[in-house]
Amino acid sequence: MAILQILDDSNDVLRKKCREVTEITPRILTLLDDMTETLHRANGAGLAAPQVGVLRRVVLVEAEPGQLYELINPEIVETRGEQCEVEGCLSLPHQWGTVKRPAWVKVKAQNRKGEWVFYEGEELLARAFCHEIDHLNGILFKDKAEHMMSAKEIEEYFSQD
């Protein structure tokens, strides 16, 4: 496994729409493994393939430590409710904003065996699913942010913990 470079928002790759994965090949499996190692090293809640320069519909979500979701060709098939919470992104270091997302989502995706699976998530998990799937369509959280936080607001927000 390898640690991959996470692209920042100055890279145009993050604005491109990703291609569907038509076959689960050894390269896709290696990508999943390398993305997992990269996500853990970066201490993030999710990572999408375009963030590491690969324009394929592959994302990882790990909103809770030890609960890793590998999603190939994911799509949101159902949503409920609404939440507006603070988000950040590994590709936008030191940037945070409030984003309105569904409070609950149901996601359909393929797993590493190519089987179609469904996952449901609420609160942070729902936000992470939405955030990472947005990456596959060239959308960054700042595009949807109702408010991008200033340095002072970020400092105050994180000092509350």
Q: Of 116, 113, 87, whose CA–CA distance to 101 is shortest?
A: 87
pLDDT tens digits for range 65-122: 999 999 999 999 999 999 999 999 999 999 999 999 999 999 999 999 999 999 999 9
How many domains, the chain? 1
Domain membership flag for residue 22: yes
Q: What is the CATH number for 41?
A: 3.90.45.10
Domain membership flag for residue 35: yes
Within 10 angstroms of residue 7's Cβ, the number of other Cβ atoms is 16
Helix (H) or strand (E) holding 69: strand 69-80
* Domain of residue 151, residue span: 12-159
Domain membership flag for residue 2: no
pLDDT tens digits for range 27-45: 999 999 999 999 999 999 9
Domain membership flag for residue 5: no
Output phi, psi for 141, to 5 deg: -60, -30
Which residue numbers are catalytic? 132
